[in-house]
A and B are shown apart, each in its own frame.
Chain A
Amino acid sequence: MSVAAGRFIGQSVKRKEDPRLVTGHGTYVDDVTLPGMLHAAFLRSDVARARITAIDTAAAKALDGVRAVLTAADLNGTVRGPMLPTLFADGAQGPSAPIKPLAGDDVRFVGDPIALVIADSRYVAEDACDLIEVDYEILDPIVDFETAAASAELVHPELGSNVGSTMATPPDESLDAAFAGAAHVVSETFHQHRHANVPMETRGIVAAFDRYTGDLRVWMSSQNPHEVRMCCARILGMPENKVRVTQSDVGGGFGQKYFMPRDEMVVVLAAHLLGRPIKWIEDRRENLLASNHARTDKADVSMAVDADGHFLAARIDHLEDSGAFPSGGTGGTGVFVALLFPGPYRVAKLGWSTTAVWTNTCGRGAYRGPWMFETVAREQLVDVVARQIGIDPLELRRRNVIARDELPYASPGGMVFDNVSPAETLEQAAALIGYDEFRSAQAAARAEGRHLGIGLGLYIEPQAGMGPLGVEAAGLRVEPSGTVDVFLGSGSHGQSLETTMAQIVAEHLGVHVDSVVVHQGDTDVAPFGGGTGGSRSGPFLSAAARQASLQIREKAILIAAHLLEAAPDDLDLADGVIAVAGSPTRSVTLADVAKTAYLGSDGLPPGMEPGLEVVTRYKAPMVTYSNACHACTCEVDIDTGRVTLLRYVVSEDCGSMINPMVVEGQIAGGVAQGIGGVLYEHMVYDDAGNPLTATFMDYLLPTAAEIPMIDYGHIETPGITPGSHKGMGEGGAIGAPPAVFNAVADALAPLGVKLTRQPLTPSALVAAIESAGASRSR
């Protein structure tokens, strides 16, 4: 099934943003310089949990070039509203960690901000940080999230418990009966370790408050400028229309920049207090230790399976580490981990629980596929089931995957999957990677003492369309010259929206893509929008842009019909020209129509409102689904634990592709993050809560040398949004971890090696091989 490509939609149009970005001429927040601008640096806690008994800032204040040294005593009293995302600010979403601007009485993680130094340069600001003396009374930290709930020590004493949230299904006798009566019950406990988002551009903000106009001007590296605007207005007690936020070029966020982080709020408070423009650019060490972290999950999972390998029931008991100050609510993703756990398989019954605990570590935040642990836990469990009952993992998936003729399929997690193709992507991925041939090659290699493995990762990815996530806006203006300006409610932080949304407009309006300019990320220019995240821009923002284009197209044709004295139904708009079908000489240009609309309104059809511009909003369905299957092969050197990825394929279905090159680019980036997560990246704390991996020497990102070439297969099952586009931004990072993990586990399974924890470092693999008694002696 596929959707026919249009003139612009479905074409790999080259990115409009690339000429400036790849030549180093983008405008990131650090490129913003204002007259009289000062520079900020944070003094952060270097202990995980302690009472602060004294802070001495005298020497720092005395340093030449220092303009202010702000502590909790100076700043915390200036906050006028909750320092929470708008979604949580009313407290209705359950308890939030008690966030204050600066740590005053105590510190709760290494990186907790204690003081903000404002100086003439960042160098001086950091010199001054060195001169601040903080006396700590060290307390025992809660570092291990698996024992946090039972700890007598509390991360947030004012909340009375280390458990931030917990939910579970009620007792279910039919579920118990399904497990009791099953031919096989396979259980395992999986852990996924702590990651960091690591956007190429760290966080940063420039904030300027004009005391005379009462205007606050903010430039910020953000995924969500309107949320930043609401947040600034709330914490300062200012009218929202006195705040302007600009998100210009953004070097990635992956969820880290979706809400307004605490540090940026502190800078805004300081800029308001001092009345001077302040720039704070997060450095890489701060980004690694004090921006939000991600993942850090554990689950006990079970699958009841009949004698023929059919899944009967599933259970997941999930625990997540929220850190001290999670971004965007505590435990918000655990429910999705539970509900999505059965995934693209026929599973009749599901039982689950999920708990989120606070620890004295950096707070958890969204990271590309925030609930993707459901796919990790399920796909890894499926492979364990396959091994235990003696069915090949591909065959086991074939027996259980939801087929197209079963759609819509009501999953036991309460979701109704439709317009998805998990069975087709499974087959396409298996064919692309040459699954059967690989099994033969694997057997031959094993006979030579080499250890090859293959892994699959199959999933359905929801795009939430509820509440503020379900509305996207686009403005469109045809200028008198016929050029087209588009104003997006949500902006790109790397998703290529500047290009893909221009393709949407060009296609549906009937102009060339080069005549469309996309404006985004400025609250004074863009209509209100929900920000970019959750793989929503492809399906939802495109629907808004399409809607705006069609409305303007319709109006342009009505005006043209009036000018040409033709029937609107006989007219077509293509390449900026409106012509009578069959007689191309009877035509007017879109520019002629626009000129009439603005400058010659007497020539408009009677009663028509002048102008050729619109702002429209699209309300999305509650949820839409895309799906994909990843397959990966690897070789493991059992002497060194080195994993070499041999081939990697992704078969995906995001409906109609707006731009196949962008789709594949998004997948590649996500796959690289998934591979990095399984094999290289690990944010490590010691028992005292000290981060041990706060530089790129220790927090290892995959480089081009570690990522294999990726082959892609596309299946285009139309979605239910108007353009049939489905979200796919997060999927690469969702499918890759279990595919890589399963491949390594498959390679080592014949040696009796059992893997349940990431990351699969050489050291961890050699230890697992050794403990299985399978080491090779020379």
Chain B
Amino acid sequence: MKHFDYVQPKTMDEALASWEPGASWLGGGTNLVDLMKLGVTQPQRVIDLTRIPDLGEITFQQDGSVRIGAMVSNAALARHAGFAQHFPMVAEALLSGASGQLRNMATVAGNLMQRTRCAYFQEETAACNRRTPGAGCDARDSDEELRALLGASPACVATNPSDFCVPLAALEAQVEVRGVNGTREIPFADFHLLPGDQPERETALEEGELIIALHLSAAAAGFARHARYLKVRDRTSFAFATTAAAAALRMEDGIITEGRLALGAVAARPWRVAEAEALLVGHAPDAALFGRAAEAAMAGAEAPAHLEWKIDLARRTAARALAMAAVGTPARMPALPASPFGQQNGDLAHV
């Protein structure tokens, strides 16, 4: 690990003032410290945000929306009874990610800032435009399986590995950020950037800005009775998604009145397609309908020959997630969250 200057500001102002180009914000460290060990990230200065007050609160507002402090841990959020009740698929996604230890450490903001798990990004000696602008992309002509099927560019084929971000995209979270020029909110859809010809620009954060909170609206909580996250993976737990989908429905008298669908592990950001969601509205849940929506969600997907199966799998994952959402949110978190083997035949949630 390269030497760095470590600071631990006690206030937000102090934190913002300690920023310098080439610095990194440190939350739980589960991704940053790992990347520093690999030499993939080499910050001159590490600004530890753990001592800034008020970043660790989960606050329900009068209007039913929730504000989640940036430094809330994944575990604390997933286990917060009120939160899990109102946003069950977010809790399910959180609990399907990483391990119990990592979820205790990892933070909400850190999860949004999580870097790609592309093997060529993580290897210092491989060519990677995301890590070193202009270096080229060794992943493009490789057998790498963590590869974007949508929204990729000649410069970069990386995917966003987050589980948490997938339901956040579906539920249209807002990201509250702060910089020296004040506070602003960024719609989730605008937060992660597709690579284009500047894959090194990964988020909408400006230099020196940091995430201070996430917001989920009361309307987003309206999906709680029909909201699931599904994560297909190579082992039963503690694995990154092969494909994933967050599906949320609002249903009245057996008819879908609103649908949300976001896919994970298929692009550099959670993938959400308005046309796919629109297809659902006004219909009763039905396998064929969910198949059409999944098809629309994956429209335009491209893969090299060795990964064409993944497009198919992503569609199936999306369709299944919708079907699971239609059945209803289970009253208790499945023993294996978000797993195809975690389906419960027990009680459904009544919010």
The answer to whether A and B come from one shared complex is no
Q: Which residues of B contact A (CB under 8 A)?
A: none
Q: Which residues of A contact B (CB under 8 A)?
A: none
